[in-house]
A and B are shown apart, each in its own frame.
Chain A
Amino acid sequence: MVKKIEEGSHAVADVVRLLNPGVLAMYPITPSTHIPERLSEFEANGELGGKIIRVESEFSAISAVVGASARGIRAYTATSSQGLALMHEVLFAASGMRLPIVITVANRALSAPLNIFNDWQDSISERDSGWLQFYGEDSQEVVDLMIQAYKIAEDKRVLLPTMVCMDGFFLTHTYDVIDVPEDLKGFVPDYKPEHAFLDPKKPMTQGAWAMQEPYFKLRKELEEAQRSIFPVIKEVHDDFAKVFGRSYGDGLIEVYGEGDNAVVTMGSFSTNLKVLADKLGFQVIRIRCYRPFPDKELAAALKGKESVAVFEKDVSYGTGHGAVYNDVRTVYNGKMVNFIVGLGGLDVPVSALEKMYKQVPEMKDAETRWQI
């Protein structure tokens, strides 16, 4: 491990190089741009093991990556916002074909109005695509998640595509002191596909047509796969902690501090909520693995709390809440309120969080309030 100071995007590119995907197909979009930029630099300097495919859109990027993964090769892409939205159709093909692709999502708001800044609406809108979704609190955790992501995705018990989400600008464009490994110490073995690959001696059909009954059963299998892999995620997280010396809760959620009242959140502004928790004495429960949704762990952590406040940077339009609130509601029946913050990159400082959190006692169950 070497501590260095660098931009979050560059730290991600450093670790992607070590993960050595055979195919990288990227179409740069703010704020993910510096990841493909740095990876292209590596390629130009002859320091990249894999091939970068230059594509003409994000739809092509994810399609190329699906093709590479179906061929049996580790594949990677990075995107944001409209780019992820353009990938939408192919995301379902990737999960349906059980291809262990990993993409870094630099979270950004969706148009309209046009906005390049951070919120979670892009990846939250893909929460039902069958992909695993992890959210990092800082660039260190994003680097560590990237190392764990392929190991989880390629595990024979999993075989699911994975999004590692990092807040755009707040992480991608911020210089931080980060431990970036110089090598992965054999932690992530080479990808040796057994279910989907291209070999003339063993011909197979992938992405085939399915009638009602097999379709139904395969989609059910996809959900059963999602629901069965909690132990794998925890196992990889624990193994990572042994090798690299860093851990994040149980790998699914992280519980910070103590208190009769809890705040549930994800992503980079969790840090500010922790600062506020030190002052006001509530507990912060940070969701690290959002898909599959760690309902049992959350239910256990929230049991007996007097109140729960969910802070999030997305809206599940028409429900009156954010998507994270709606999910957490399924495991907690007590007083629960929702704060929508930071849309379109609005700064969420500790002072604003304090002002909002102090409103919890006067709020009704299920009430939603907005930062501005």
Chain B
Amino acid sequence: MLEVRFHGRGGQGAVTAAEVLAVAAFGDGKYSQAFGKFGPERRGAPVQSFTRVDESPIRIRQEVYEPDIVVVLDPGLMKVVNVRQGIKEGGILIINTKDKVPGAWCVDATRIALDTIGKPIVNTAMLGAFSKASGGAVSLESIIKAIKERFPGELGEKNAEAIRKASESCSLIGV
């Protein structure tokens, strides 16, 4: 079973990202589950969300404490939250950042989102990076399809472009 934890800020769409990833994994023919860790939903406050993906039905109902993959939507969170907490050995860390963080997959998703969508909403772009960094654990095609279902029309097309760009430009930084 693949367990994913998203770190974001209220309003960045961390819960939507987890849900779209689950829908996309289901589109790949797998079982999946997604949920947010809800709080007083204040724009900007640190939030978490989770996705599980497996070949068989998912029999567990708790937060993800030992993720295989951690996705960080906001670089500022690195200073205030221990995003590496509980991450499995050999786990993958994917960060939206202009910088190069050793050992992590990095992508400037804010730039990509501003260029394509026109708003600093990076959740969809980060799913493109997820597909690349995870070696296609959830396919890019299914992610794009799930996004277009969720956001029909022009908005879906713009988000699909952000996903493709992020998938192409994200890279693993050597230690």
Contact = CB atoms under 8 A, between A and B. Distances in A.
Contact of A5 (B22, B36, B38, B61): B22
B37 to A, nearest CB: 9
B17 to A, nearest CB: 12
B141 interface: no
A272 B32 contact: no
A225 B18 CA distance: 46
Contact of A177 (B19, B32, B35, B63): B32
Nearest to B25: A5
Contact of B65 (A177, A274, A349): A349
A122 B17 CA distance: 32
Contacts, number: 57
Interface in B37-71: 38, 57-63, 65
Nearest to A269: B61
B62 A347 contact: yes
Interface string A51-73: 00000000000000000000000
B62 A349 contact: yes
A170 interface: yes
Interface string A115-134: 01100000000000000000
A272 B57 CA distance: 14
Interface of A: 4-5, 7, 116-117, 138, 169-170, 173-177, 268-269, 271-272, 274-275, 347-351
Interface residues of B, number: 20
B60 A5 contact: no
Nearest to A348: B62
B56 to A, nearest CB: 11
B36 A271 contact: no
Contact of B32 (A170, A175, A269, A351): A175
Contacts of A350: 60, 62
Contact of A274 (B19, B26, B59): B59
B167 interface: no
Given A5-B32, A177-B26, A169 B60 contact: no
Output the residue of A5, A169, A271, A350 with the most chain B CB within 10 A: A5
Contacts of A349: 62-63, 65
Nearest to B21: A175
B38 A173 contact: yes
**The 5 nearest A-B residue pairs measured at CB:** A349-B62, A174-B35, A5-B26, A175-B34, A271-B61
Given A177-B58, A274-B59, 10 more contacts: A4-B26, A174-B35, A268-B61, A269-B61, A271-B59, A271-B60, A271-B61, A272-B61, A348-B62, A349-B62
Contact of B23 (A5, A138, A169, A173): A5
Given A173-B35, A175-B34, A347 B23 contact: no
A169 B35 contact: yes
Output the residue of B22, B36, B62 with the most chain A CB within 10 A: B62
Contacts of B62: 269, 272, 347-350
Contact of A275 (B33, B57, B60): B60
Nearest to B50: A174
A177 B31 contact: yes
B53 to A, nearest CB: 11
Nearest to B31: A177
6 contacts: A5-B26, A175-B33, A177-B57, A269-B61, A269-B62, A272-B62
Nearest to B64: A349
A174 B38 contact: no
Interface string B139-158: 00000000000000000000
B46 to A, nearest CB: 17
Nearest to A138: B61
A177 B23 CA distance: 9
A268 B63 CA distance: 13
B59 A275 contact: yes
Contacts of A4: 26
A348 B65 CA distance: 12
B59 A174 contact: no
A70 B146 CA distance: 45
B63 to A, nearest CB: 5
Nearest to A116: B38
Contacts of A274: 59
Nearest to A270: B61
Contacts of A138: 61
A40 B36 CA distance: 24
Contact of A174 (B26, B34, B57, B65): B34
B61 A173 contact: no
Contacts of A169: 35, 38
Contacts of A5: 22-23, 26, 32
A350 B32 CA distance: 19
A173 B18 CA distance: 12
